Amino acid sequence: MNHDLVNLPYARSWRDIPQPVKPRALSREGQWRLFASGLRLGGFIAATLAVGWGVWEIARSLQENPKRMPAAAKAVPVKHLALKTDGHLDAAWLVRTLALPRNASLMELDLLRLRDLLLAHGQVRTATLTRNFPDTLEVRLAEREPVVRLRTDLGGGEVRTLLVAKDGVVFEGAGFASEKLEALPWLAPARLARVEGRIQPIAGLPLVADLLERAQRETARLFATWEIVSLAGLEADDEIEVRTRQGARIVFGTKGEFFPQLAKLDAVWDQLAKASVPPARIDLSLGREVPVSFAAQPLPAPAAADPVKSAFTFRFSPPN
């Protein structure tokens, strides 16, 4: 006469008899029913998947097509521009560049056009625009880094300083520190190709970028003296010429590796430091021989350089 049920005996019920489906034990009618139920289940799953796919497609289409968005989604104007970049451009530049109309909602923005506006600035390598409902336009940028700078006439007598990226794209830099820009070598004046008013990328810049990057890394003290890089001999002679602040011209061959050429330059430069006359031309494009020409006397400026009066050739033995 108590309520303790823990130790009460348990009697098995007929419900404990398993009722598994064993196709082998099914009669012909049973097998047909099993097949039909499998078919129904398959059909149901297929229908569910089809409906799910349809819903997903509709959702995607609504997301991409502003005309199909509900009115409520169109009503909120853009309040925030979220900029994420790996470079130097800032929010103010973004606002200026996009110049969004007042009270425009996210769905009214033509993202493709806005992206083209951003890409029109050479400094922007890639741009991704995303609507973050209800009121934020997110902009992700990847920027170009300058390798050299150049001065050019943009027309109407206006001469401006432009920057050139590793891929040869010429752009007006924005947001860069002036110390960084002043440390960049100049690109010797060259004629810039234009298509529909836009300056086309300069060929050969990847080679220049590679040379400058290696020089900066391997022989920083020499690189600090480099002032002008010329691509005049690139196409005809496969040469890149660098002019130092002292007026010396250093010729690099583009067919060989830059690293051994820089190593030879370093060695030659040390030897020439003992000479009383500064070098006028060092040619590193000839392989093991490095001809060096000297000016007759120290020159005040590169423009006044005189014909070479004497010359010397350094010979390097290949490493054992």
In the bound state with another protein, the residue whose beta carbon lies nearer, of 12 and 80, is 12
**Residue 36: CB minimum distance to another protein, A:** 8
- Separation of alpha carbons 252 and 249, rounded Å: 10
For residue 249, give the nearest of 282, 273, 227, 211 by alpha carbon: 282
In the bound state with another protein, the residue whose beta carbon lies nearer, of 33 and 194, is 33
In the bound state with another protein, the residue whose beta carbon lies nearer, of 21 and 304, is 21
For residue 137, give the nearest of 75, 63, 79, 71 by alpha carbon: 79
CB 230 within 8 A of CB 240: yes
**Residue 42: CB minimum distance to another protein, A:** 16
**Residue 110: CB minimum distance to another protein, A:** 49
Residue type, position 247, single letter? G
CB 114 within 8 A of CB 81: no
**Residue 94: CB minimum distance to another protein, A:** 57
Report helix, strand or coil for 285. Answer: coil
In the bound state with another protein, the residue whose beta carbon lies nearer, of 10 and 319, is 10
Interface residues with another protein (CB under 8 A) are 1-3, 5, 8-14, 16-17, 19-22, 25-27, 29-31, 33-34, 36-37
**Residue 15: CB minimum distance to another protein, A:** 8
- Separation of alpha carbons 126 and 118, rounded Å: 9
Q: In the β-sheet with 136-143, what is the strand arrangement from edge to edge?
A: 80-85, 136-143, 124-132
User: Phi and psi dihedrals of 152, rounded to 5?
Assistant: -150, 160
CB 140 within 8 A of CB 128: yes
CB 168 within 8 A of CB 206: yes
**Residue 39: CB minimum distance to another protein, A:** 12
CB 239 within 8 A of CB 233: yes
In the bound state with another protein, the residue whose beta carbon lies nearer, of 27 and 276, is 27
In the bound state with another protein, the residue whose beta carbon lies nearer, of 4 and 182, is 4
In the bound state with another protein, the residue whose beta carbon lies nearer, of 8 and 112, is 8
In the bound state with another protein, the residue whose beta carbon lies nearer, of 37 and 132, is 37
**Residue 28: CB minimum distance to another protein, A:** 8
**Residue 78: CB minimum distance to another protein, A:** 48
Tokens of 244: 């130092």
* Residues belonging to the chain: 320
Tokens of 147: 């390798």
**How many beta carbons lie within 10 A of that of residue 133, not counting itself?**
12
